[in-house]
């Protein structure tokens, strides 16, 4: 069964305070989203397996430990892009895939318009990144597609979630752990998380 980890850390809370405040401008918002991406990464990687390797320090030979598996970061376009640099700063060897989804106006279901993943995704740890876990429609679809491509070790990474999104993601993908900086109370009738932070994509890219 998956686990749900809500990060509880003063630095993350401090940055989330900036991110949530409607007076925060695009530059500071973007920087803070990326920074929280980096801080969350410590927790996501806590149980990563490492493999031993022999090296020589300037003094003597020693056994060191490196990450065993390739890491692949997969942002869901477009808001997911906001967290990628922060995560990539912490895991610079990670490869980056992309997935773009739009909502079909008749069925209201998410449809894929773009996807590109590294070849070795089957053997990698895949971090699906989308800041807002709202209805979880996009997250579930993205994970469906990653599984179709052979990914088995998948973790969801976001900023803010709500019970509705967590329940759906847990039901549809019980083997995907969820990492969030905060858990809010509910979704409103327009699909926004309350109290949330507004439209994350618009605030990241100044398109409001």
Residues labelled catalytic: 103, 107, 199, 202
Q: Which residues within the stretch 112-141 sit at the binding site for ligand URA (CB under 6 A)?
A: 132, 134
Nearer to ligand URA by C-beta: 17 or 64?
17
Is 132 annotated as belonging to a binding site?
A: yes
Q: How many residues does the chain have?
A: 208
How many binding residues for ligand URA (CB under 6 A)?
A: 10
DSSP string, 98-135: EEEEEE-TTT--EEEEEEE--GGGGGSEEEEE-SEESS
Query: Shortest approach of ligand URA to residue 106 CB, angstroms?
Result: 21
The answer to whether 70 and 107 are in contact (CB under 8 A) is: no
Is 130 annotated as belonging to a binding site?
A: yes
Written as six digits, the tokens of 201 are: 């994509």
Query: Shortest approach of ligand URA to residue 134 CB, angstroms?
Result: 4
The 75-94 contact track toward ligand URA, x by CB under 6 A, reads: ----x---------------
Nearer to ligand URA by C-beta: 80 or 97?
80
Choose one: 5-13, 69-77, 119-127, 199-207; the region binding ligand URA (CB under 6 A): 199-207
Written as six digits, the tokens of 98 are: 């992309």
Cα 143 to Cα 164: distance, rounded to the nearest angstrom: 17
**Which are the contacts of 30, defined by CB distance < 8 A and separation ≥ 6?**
82, 204
Is 136 annotated as belonging to a binding site?
A: yes
Q: Which helix (H) or strand (E) holds 44?
A: helix 26-44
Q: Which residues within the stretch 144-183 sit at the binding site for ligand URA (CB under 6 A)?
A: none
Q: For residue 199, state whether it binds ligand URA (rule: CB under 6 A).
A: yes
Is 93 annotated as belonging to a binding site?
A: no
Nearer to ligand URA by C-beta: 164 or 172?
164
Most distant pair of Cα atoms in the chain: their distance: 67
């Amino acid at each position: 069964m998956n686990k749900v980890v809500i990060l509880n850390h003063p630095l993350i809370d401090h940055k989330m305070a900036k991110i949530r405040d409607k007076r925060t401008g695009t530059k500071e918002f973007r920087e803070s989203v990326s920074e929280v991406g980096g801080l969350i990464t410590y927790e996501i990687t806590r149980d990563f397996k490492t493999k031993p390797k022999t090296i020589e320090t300037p003094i003597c030979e020693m056994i060191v430990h490196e990450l065993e598996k390739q890491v692949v970061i997969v942002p869901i376009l477009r808001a997911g892009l906001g967290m990628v640099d922060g995560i990539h700063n912490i895991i610079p060897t990670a490869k980056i895939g992309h997935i773009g989804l739009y909502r079909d106006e008749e069925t209201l279901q998410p449809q894929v318009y773009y996807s590109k993943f590294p070849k070795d995704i089957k053997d990698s740890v895949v971090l699906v990144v989308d800041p807002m876990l709202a209805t979880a429609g996009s997250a579930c679809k993205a994970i469906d597609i990653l599984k179709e491509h052979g990914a088995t070790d998948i973790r969801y990474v976001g900023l803010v979630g709500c019970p509705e999104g967590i329940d759906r993601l847990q039901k549809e993908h019980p083997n995907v752990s969820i990492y969030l900086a905060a858990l809010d109370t509910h979704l409103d009738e327009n699909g926004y998380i309350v109290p949330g932070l507004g439209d994350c994509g618009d605030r990241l890219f100044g398109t409001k």
